[in-house]
Structure 1
Amino acid sequence: MAEDAQSQVEGESGKGSRKKLIIIIAIAALLLLGGGGAAAFFLLSGGEDATVEAVEPVRKEALYTKVRTLEGRPMFVVTLQSDDGQRHYMQAYVEAKSRDQEVVDALELHMPLVVARLNTLFSTQKFETLMTIEGKRALRQQAVETVQSIMQDKIGRPGVESILFTNLVMQ
């Protein structure tokens, strides 16, 4: 009887140790796979973030300058040429967009010249042309080129990105 009890204990401990060994091996394999996967994720994703940050350019904030006369009037009022013989008027509120404080300062310093050239440009326009979207776009592009020309002469670079008509009324 003692021998039977002894063999039973040895058989159960052999089966138990095998189960424990299998469980330990399975846990070790899971830890190795999980650790390897986590390491790969962190190593690969860290390299991509570094390249994305290096590629993105830094953009300065846009600065807007109201184009106004010496009296402080924020608008242009001009008589337009017309084929129908009637008088037509245009009132325009104009702002210059740039991204450099030096350009803003130069615009303010040379505002009388900017206003005079834009007045000349606006007063030579035809009413019928400005009634179309294409005519307004062309006028805006001409205004950009005029102001950029002035800035090129005064500070050595165009500086102004665009000219915006914040209000444009024609009658």
Structure 2
Amino acid sequence: MAGNETAEETPADGKGSNKKLIIIIALVGVLMLGGGAGLTYFLLAPGEQAAAGATAAEPVQQDAVYTKVRTLEGKPSFVVTLQSEDNKRHYLQAFVEAKSRSPEVDAALQLHMPLIVARLNALFSSQSFEELQGIEGKRALRAEATELVQSIMQEKIGQPGVETILFTNFVMQ
């Protein structure tokens, strides 16, 4: 009987050892996939190690927050009449956004939007059509608008807050 038991445990055609081999290969494959996924996660995901590595002297850059500068009616653009040497009427239409790095500054911009719009309207309508035709004139206007909004934010919240003013659309006629 002992001879019969050993014969039954080891099949003659070898199917049992093939099943074990397939199971072992499958387990090794699953372990390799899991290890690769874990390695990928730790290499590509922003982790606590990156945050811990940042020093106090090197501030962490926050994402930009863009605030559309709108009139009280919700219009996204400014339309003003420009001064001109040829005594013709020229118009400027500008879509304006303020770039900051803080949701608190965004909230302050929203709160003080009527003042910002009024002062930007005055700034835009005091411009010369001839000066704004060149790229330097547009850059100078953007710098003036940035300084204006920063001064308003300094006055209202105690910090400039706004990085820059952007013209997302600028049309003159």
TM-score (norm 2): 0.68
1:115 corresponds to which of 113, 117, 120: 117
Match of 2:145, SS state, is helix
| Unaligned 5+ runs, structure 1 | 1-48
Identity of aligned residues (%): 72
1:133 aligns with 2:117: no
List aligned pairs for 1:13-162, cutoff 5 A.
Answer: 53-54=53-54, 57-162=59-164
Question: What RMSD over aligned residues (CA atoms) do the two structures have, in Å?
Answer: 1.7
Query: Which residue in 1 is equivalent to 2:26?
Result: none
* Equivalent-residue separation in structure 2 for 1:79 and 1:57 (angstroms): 43
Rg larger in 1 or in 2?
A: 1
Moved over 6 A (4+): none
- Which letter does structure 2 place at the counterpart of 1:88? H
More helix by share: 1
- Which letter does structure 2 place at the counterpart of 1:151? M
- Which letter does structure 2 place at the counterpart of 1:86? K
- Which letter does structure 1 place at the counterpart of 2:98? A
How far residue 60 of structure 1 moved from its aligned partner, in angstroms, is 0.4
- Which letter does structure 2 place at the counterpart of 1:98? S
- 1:8-31 CA-to-partner distances (Å, cap 9, x unmatched) read xxxxxxxxxxxxxxxxxxxxxxxx
| Unaligned 5+ runs, structure 2 | 1-48
* Equivalent-residue separation in structure 2 for 1:90 and 1:78 (angstroms): 5
How far residue 54 of structure 1 moved from its aligned partner, in angstroms, is 4.0
- Count matched residues: 122
* Equivalent-residue separation in structure 1 for 2:125 and 2:90 (angstroms): 11
